[in-house]
């Protein structure tokens, strides 16, 4: 039943268009969508089945089952069943709430309305009721209810525009088009009633489509017309469910895929369940604890058998025979197994789930990770690996849109052998950070490009300015011939070459022109690069106005121009090029643009401009610019028609896409080079600082990019991935033997760097990487070097190679993180332990595939170094503490067996056992694991007088925080020795609790009411002591207190226990009956609790003091420094206090961790004092030097005027060089007469100051 609700059909589509009745229903699934997991009948069994996939739940189910047998269990079954039901119930309630939400969503979607065409009329129906083969009428801004083949549209050309942001996050419009034949048959003009379709709409046609697949652009099909003709369909005709119709009044289409067969549902696969390293380690430790538990049970059972064998003859009530001796031993084993099951905490897993959900909430709401540019907060899309964020060892980053803004600026263009732009001089851009351009930014949508390109010569050529006639008429003599010599285009002058170049920019693209107010055009396209080039052509006078299925329109210097668009071959990451075939004034032209390595390989020999362009491209790459080559060729009419015939002949082939790719590949050869473009992509804010801190945190950063080696190297230097003191080793050879030599040389360099303790980096090209990783020996040597480098840059790599590089490192048991913003980064994001997607200009595919989503790369700093570090520490300490508190609780049960003739009797009351983990001890621990902070870098301003010092202290601490990251990287907390230490503490503390409780109560003494201290008294006293020990220990180890911590500790732990303590007095037939009343009257009760806590926590405090004094960590140093600084600020007179403190330390020969900051503050104060002395000295010089010419001079450090002067004149300034090359400006004014006198002073007006600064008149 469950499977049938989500049935899929993997058969090839063969169906009837406009079928009546149930012609297509029997083969294909309905359009009813069901994303919910359960219904009323299936919820309980399926949800329970899911819960028992966890081994811990199976373990506690086993405990509950055997505890239900009275012959085995010394405990009430409720003590095992209640916690299990509570834990399962919480998880199932969460599942139910999530599934109810999915049901509501499903019902809303299935009930949405659409318009079906039946018998030439429009009929309203629901999405759930449409079927394969139905004709639909879709209006503008309407969402497609299923995957549809467009048959006709508003436009005669059959073109329509769709937005697929709900599928891939791309907001740019995509053109789709009906084929001519269906546009003619199913189209209608606007004069007809929309309720009266063409009579042809009643015809039936056979259609074919390939089997459903998740690939969004993958579609191959055909339509068979009644006259026997067959027309091929492809992705250009497919409109996907979930997409919207835009800028088109209507379309008519036929449904090809429904329900689970649609692309969006095929992509809606369940997310991978990731398990963190800590959780994996915890599961192994639980197995170890289970082994210890079994050994303890076996030991107790053996001792029980021994005692029975030894004592049964002395006790007539013990009846033992050879037949029941073995049975009694087995029963004893399982009885002890029930008593000792608290070694494994039942609420640990569900508590961790709650904590991780809260951690995700704080990540999602962090104001420091809010991107104003994107209007996006950080988003945690999984909660299972929060602590893994604090253990990352390798970060793999895309470049474009991840480290850079993906906001392109058109910088240079090469046309022929002439460079245009920036005054024809390539400016050095050592750090391509984002500049502030004089372009108004559209706040509604992040802009893809800016245009500040200026070149008077190019503009003069385009605009036919007389003064540039010589440059315009510069001879070229470029003759472009078709391969069969039947067509020729001769480019005689630079102006004609410029025309072809700009026509290429404005026509060879996939952009859509959206017209706004005042005829303004906004281009939308598949990539920012594409938009930038079309935008550049528009700004240079070649304005692309739009296109239909077979025509492009332009405005060139105010004149309208149309060309026939014959074919368009899209860009993809494998082709790395894009081309179009147009017919311009009867000439068939193929325009192509692409990566330089791809285009160069396809050029016709002896290109006249190639050498010049190659040299310039090398210069561009050194300053980090993105480059493309522009080329073209001419086709004769015969060549073009032959190409079309070959393409049409592929319609019936099973491998038509591969064969078409090969056909286009052959066409895009023998090209003529026209020029190149150079576009700058600015670095995002704080990228260099973020990467520097990641390297400081010992996180190795690898940049994976498709750019050429020189460009990648420069960007790596700009973002401080490669720093000045790094030794760079390169791998660029594509020949195996040469690569071996390069590897050997780099190996020697690598070893020398290790000896000299130099930092090192590797640059490797994609082709070299393939050779290195395919040879096992080379792979081992290269991997060893790469893993030892501080950074690695892989250039010219494909999306598949990115994932392979991540897998290479992941296989070495290193914690990896991959971050990117585009669809080409999805593979590596999914391959890494942690995948991070950036909200960018290239859609949402990366975000949708990621574990965490960020608005900007710089937020990685806080996600890893703060949230990641905190999550690791919190979860690690939580697990250790859970096992500690369960061990201290279990030990008295174990010890009591020695005092009860190994009879497997419980030391604690059943209800006390039940509530221990569920209520009394869990909430304070959950609150601590959610809110505790080891340390934070922000200093809250408590005294406005010293706000600047507080700000500097925040920056100082932030610079130290990367040093703290090693806590998680080296897994210093959740380790086997630490686990044994905490578990050992629990064992020792359990011993103390049992024996001190036992020793301090004299069972022979009676109180005033004649009651004596019995077994129940010992039990509840020990239990109460354990509650206080566990809670006070949490308080001691809590570093950051909040109101929630206090409430959970005092009210929801100790408070609830005290309330239960008194209520349990009324429970008949339990240990608690009458016992609480006796205990509150007994001084021993209070003394035992106080004594136990004193012994245990004095010991803890001594251990902690020794650790902090002799084994202090960077965290301890920061905490100490923060306290020291706060104390100074609280007392006031911060500067004097700092000076006294430092003087005392110097006298004692001490130097602490934070002294460099205090010394920096003092140095700045001294510099400020020296600066003031210079100002005062200048004041005295002016008073004496210019007294004859000016009234008494009023000097100040601002623009305040001299009120003593009646006639005012322009401001006079003196600039003084102060400390750190700063400039202090002193202002004063003179009257007009005094000013004239001053001007008459000759060169003697220069101030006789040591710095010889000149007084000048503005």
Q: Which residues are catalytic?
A: 398
The three-point CA angle 848-852-857 to 5° equals 105
Cβ 457 vs Cβ 649: under 8 Å: no
The alpha-helical segments, DSSP class H, found in 187-321 are 263-266, 277-311
Q: Are strands 475-481 and 672-683 parallel, antiparallel or unpaired?
A: unpaired
Cβ 941 vs Cβ 950: under 8 Å: yes
Question: Nearest CA to 85 among 340, 343, 344, 350?
Answer: 350
Q: Rounded to whole angstroms, how far apart are CA atoms 145 and 32? A: 10
Q: Is 399 annotated as a binding residue?
A: yes
Cβ 585 vs Cβ 576: under 8 Å: no
Q: Is 685 annotated as a binding residue?
A: no
Rg (CA), the chain: 39
Give Cα 107 distance to the centre of its chain. Answer: 32
Instruction: Return the C-alpha torsion angle 1059, 1060, 1063, 1069, nearest 10.
Output: -170
Q: Is 366 annotated as a binding residue?
A: no
- State the sign of the Cα–Cα–Cα–Cα dihedral 416, 419, 421, 423: negative
Q: Is 626 annotated as a binding residue?
A: yes
Q: Is 1010 annotated as a binding residue?
A: no
Residues pairing with 811 in the sheet: none
Q: Rounded to whole angstroms, how far apart are CA atoms 1053 and 974? A: 26
Cα(first)–Cα(last) distance of the chain, in Å?
A: 89
Q: Rounded to whole angstroms, how far apart are CA atoms 83 and 57? A: 11
Question: Nearest CA to 669 among 617, 642, 632?
Answer: 632
Q: Rounded to whole angstroms, how far apart are CA atoms 324 and 660? A: 82
Q: Is 938 annotated as a binding residue?
A: no
Q: Is 571 annotated as a binding residue?
A: yes
Cβ 998 vs Cβ 1025: under 8 Å: no
Q: Is 948 annotated as a binding residue?
A: no
DSSP string, 860-901: HHHIIIIIIHHHHHHHHHHHHHHHHHHHHHHHHHHHHGGGTT
Q: Is 690 annotated as a binding residue?
A: no
Residue 818 neighbours by CB distance under 10 Å? 32
User: 1151, exposed or middle or buried, with CB in 10 Å at 0-12, 13-18, 19+?
Assistant: exposed
Cβ 208 vs Cβ 637: under 8 Å: no
Q: Is 39 annotated as a binding residue?
A: no
Q: Is 824 annotated as a binding residue?
A: yes
Cβ 879 vs Cβ 861: under 8 Å: no
Cβ 1020 vs Cβ 920: under 8 Å: no
The alpha-helical segments, DSSP class H, found in 1186-1249 are 1232-1240
**Angle of the 348-364 helix axis to the 78-110 helix axis, nearest 10:** 40
Sheet holding 1256-1257, edge to edge: 1223-1228, 1212-1217, 1256-1257
- Tally: H helices and E strands in the chain: 41, 39
Longest dimension (CA), the chain: 132
Q: Rounded to whole angstroms, how far apart are CA atoms 350 and 88? A: 9
Q: Rounded to whole angstroms, how far apart are CA atoms 289 and 268? A: 40
Q: Rounded to whole angstroms, how far apart are CA atoms 4 and 1207? A: 95
Give Cα 1136 distance to the centre of its chain. Answer: 46
Give Cα 49 distance to the centre of its chain. Answer: 33
Q: Is 654 annotated as a binding residue?
A: no
Q: Rounded to whole angstroms, how far apart are CA atoms 272 and 279? A: 16
Reading the block at residue 470, the tokens are 């010589």
Q: Is 707 annotated as a binding residue?
A: yes
Q: Rounded to whole angstroms, how far apart are CA atoms 431 and 451? A: 20
Reading the block at residue 259, the tokens are 């329900």
Annotated binding-site positions for Mg(2+): 398, 400, 821, 825
Annotated binding-site positions for ATP: 398-400, 530, 571, 593, 626, 705-707, 796, 802, 824-825
Annotated binding-site positions: 398-400, 530, 571, 593, 626, 705-707, 796, 802, 821, 824-825
């Amino acid at each position: 039943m469950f499977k049938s609700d989500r049935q899929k059909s993997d058969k090839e589509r063969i169906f009837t268009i406009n079928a009546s009745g149930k012609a297509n229903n029997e083969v294909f699934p309905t359009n009813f969508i069901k994303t919910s997991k359960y219904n009323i009948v299936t919820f309980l069994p399926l949800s329970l089945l899911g819960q028992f996939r966890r081994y811990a739940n199976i373990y506690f189910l086993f405990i509950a089952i055997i505890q239900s047998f009275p012959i085995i269990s010394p405990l009430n079954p409720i003590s095992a069943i209640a916690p299990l039901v509570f834990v399962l119930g919480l998880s199932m309630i969460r599942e139910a709430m999530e599934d109810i939400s999915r049901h509501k969503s499903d019902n809303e979607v299935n009930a949405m309305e659409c318009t079906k065409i039946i018998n030439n009329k429009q009929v309203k129906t629901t999405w759930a009721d449409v079927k394969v083969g139905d004709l639909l009428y879709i209006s503008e801004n309407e969402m497609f209810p299923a995957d549809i083949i467009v048959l006709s549209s508003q436009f005669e050309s059959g073109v329509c525009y769709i937005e697929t942001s709900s599928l891939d996050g791309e907001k740019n419009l995509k053109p789709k088009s009906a084929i001519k034949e269906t546009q003619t048959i199913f189209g209608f003009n606007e004069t007809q009633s929309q309720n009266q379709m063409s009579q042809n709409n009643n015809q039936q046609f056979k259609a074919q489509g390939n089997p459903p697949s998740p690939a969004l652009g993958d579609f191959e099909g055909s339509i068979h017309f009644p006259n026997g003709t067959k027309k091929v369909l492809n992705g250009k005709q497919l409109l996907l469910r979930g997409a919207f119709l835009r800028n088109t009044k209507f379309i008519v289409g036929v449904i090809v895929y429904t329900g689970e067969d649609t692309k969006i549902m095929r992509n809606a696969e369940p997310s991978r369940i990731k398990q963190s390293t800590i959780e994996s380690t915890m599961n192994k430790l639980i197995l170890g604890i289970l082994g210890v538990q079994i050994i303890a049970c076996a030991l107790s059972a053996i001792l029980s058998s021994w005692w029975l064998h030894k004592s049964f003859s002395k006790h007539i009530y013990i009846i033992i025979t050879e037949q029941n001796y073995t049975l009694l031993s087995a029963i004893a084993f399982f009885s002890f197994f029930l008593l000792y099951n608290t070694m494994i905490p039942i609420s640990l897993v569900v508590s961790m789930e709650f904590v991780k959900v809260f951690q995700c909430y704080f990540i999602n709401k962090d104001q420091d990770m809010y991107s104003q540019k994107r209007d996006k907060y950080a988003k945690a899309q999984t909660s299972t690996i929060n602590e893994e964020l604090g253990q990352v060892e390798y970060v793999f980053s895309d470049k474009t849109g991840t480290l850079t803004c993906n906001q392109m600026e058109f910088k240079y263009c090469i046309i022929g052998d002439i460079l245009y732009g920036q005054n024809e001089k390539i400016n050095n851009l050592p750090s391509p950070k984002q500049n502030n351009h004089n372009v108004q930014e559209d706040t509604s949508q992040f802009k893809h490009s800016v245009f500040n390109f200026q070149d008077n010569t190019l503009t003069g050529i385009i605009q036919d300015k007389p003064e540039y006639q010589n440059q315009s008429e510069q001879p070229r003599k470029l003759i472009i011939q078709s391969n069969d010599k039947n067509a020729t285009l001769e480019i005689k002058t630079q102006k004609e070459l410029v025309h072809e170049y700009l026509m290429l920019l404005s026509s060879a693209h996939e952009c859509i022109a959206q017209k706004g107010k005042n005829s303004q055009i906004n281009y939308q396209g598949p990539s920012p690069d594409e938009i930038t080039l079309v935008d550049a052509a528009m700004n240079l006078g070649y304005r692309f106005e739009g296109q239909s299925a077979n025509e492009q329109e332009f405005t060139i210097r105010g004149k309208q121009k149309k060309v026939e668009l014959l074919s368009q071959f899209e860009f993809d990451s494998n082709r790395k090029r894009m081309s179009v075939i147009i017919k311009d004034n009867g000439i068939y032209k193929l325009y192509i643009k692409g990566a330089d390595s791809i285009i160069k390989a396809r050029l016709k020999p002896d290109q006249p401009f190639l050498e010049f362009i190659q040299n310039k491209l090398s210069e561009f790459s050194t300053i980090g610019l993105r480059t493309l080559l522009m080329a073209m060729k001419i086709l004769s009419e015969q060549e073009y028609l032959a190409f079309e015939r070959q393409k049409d002949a592929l319609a019936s082939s099973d491998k038509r896409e591969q064969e078409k790719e090969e056909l286009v590949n052959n066409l895009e050869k023998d090209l003529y080079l026209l020029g190149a473009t150079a576009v700058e992509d600015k670095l995002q804010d704080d990228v260099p600082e973020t990467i520097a801190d990641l390297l400081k945190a010992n996180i190795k950063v690898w940049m994976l990019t498709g750019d050429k080696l020189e460009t990648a190297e420069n960007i790596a230097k700009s973002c401080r991935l490669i720093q000045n003191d790094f030794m760079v080793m390169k791998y660029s050879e594509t020949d195996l033997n040469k690569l071996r030599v390069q590897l050997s040389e780099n190996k020697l360099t690598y070893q020398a760097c290790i000896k000299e303790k130099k930092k090192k980096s590797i640059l490797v090209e994609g082709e070299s990487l393939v050779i290195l990783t395919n040879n096992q020996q080379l792979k081992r040597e290269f991997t060893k070097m790469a893993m030892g480098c501080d950074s690695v840059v892989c250039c010219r790599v494909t999306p598949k190679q990115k994932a392979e590089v991540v897998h290479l490192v992941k296989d070495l048991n290193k914690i990896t993180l991959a971050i990117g913003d585009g669809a080409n980064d999805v593979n590596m994001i999914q391959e890494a332990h942690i995948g991070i997607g950036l909200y960018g200009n290239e859609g949402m595919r990366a975000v949708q595939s990621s574990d965490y989503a960020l608005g900007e790369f710089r937020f990685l700093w806080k996600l890893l170094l703060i949230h990641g570090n905190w999550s690791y520490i919190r979860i690690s300490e939580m697990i250790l503490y859970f096992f500690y508190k369960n061990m201290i609780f279990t030990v008295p049960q174990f010890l009591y067996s020695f005092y009860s003739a190994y009879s497997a009797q419980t030391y604690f009351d059943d209800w006390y056992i039940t509530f221990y983990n569920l209520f009394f001890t869990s909430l304070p621990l959950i609150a601590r694991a959610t809110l505790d902070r080891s340390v934070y870098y922000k200093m809250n301003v408590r005294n406005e007088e010293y706000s600047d010092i507080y700000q500097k202290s925040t920056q100082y601490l932030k610079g130290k925080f990367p040093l703290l990251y090693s806590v998680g990287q080296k897994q210093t907390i959740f380790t086997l020795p630490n686990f044994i230490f905490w578990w050992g503490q629990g064992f020792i503390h359990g011993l103390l609790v049992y024996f001190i409780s036992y020793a301090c109560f004299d069972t022979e003494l009676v109180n005033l009411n004649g009651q004596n201290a019995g077994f129940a008294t010992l039990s509840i006293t020990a239990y109460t002591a354990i509650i206080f020990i566990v809670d006070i220990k949490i308080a001691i180890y809590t570093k950051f207190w909040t109101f929630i911590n206090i409430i959970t500790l005092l009210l929801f732990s100790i408070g609830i226990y005290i309330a239960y303590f008194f209520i349990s007095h009324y429970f008949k037939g339990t240990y608690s009956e009458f016992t609480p009343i006796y205990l509150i009257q007994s001084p021993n009760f209070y003394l035992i609790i106080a004594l136990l806590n004193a012994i245990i926590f004095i010991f803890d405090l001594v251990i902690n003091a020794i650790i902090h004094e002799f084994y202090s960590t960077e965290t301890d140093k920061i905490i100490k420094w923060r306290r020291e600084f706060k104390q100074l600020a609280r007392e006031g007179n911060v500067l004097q206090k700092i000076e006294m403190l430092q003087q005392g330390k110097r006298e004692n020969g001490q130097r602490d961790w934070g002294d460099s900051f205090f010394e920096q503050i003092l140095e700045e104060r001294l510099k400020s004092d020296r600066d003031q002395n210079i100002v005062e000295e200048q004041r005295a010089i002016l008073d004496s030097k210019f007294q004859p010419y000016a009234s008494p001079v009023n000097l100040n450090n601002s623009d305040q005027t001299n009120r003593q002067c009646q006639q005012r004149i322009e401001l006079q300034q003196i600039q003084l060089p102060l400390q750190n090359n700063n400039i202090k400006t002193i202002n004063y004014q003179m009257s007009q007469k005094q000013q004239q006198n001053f001007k008459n002073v000759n060169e003697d007006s220069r101030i006789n100051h040591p710095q010889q600064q000149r007084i000048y008149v503005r």
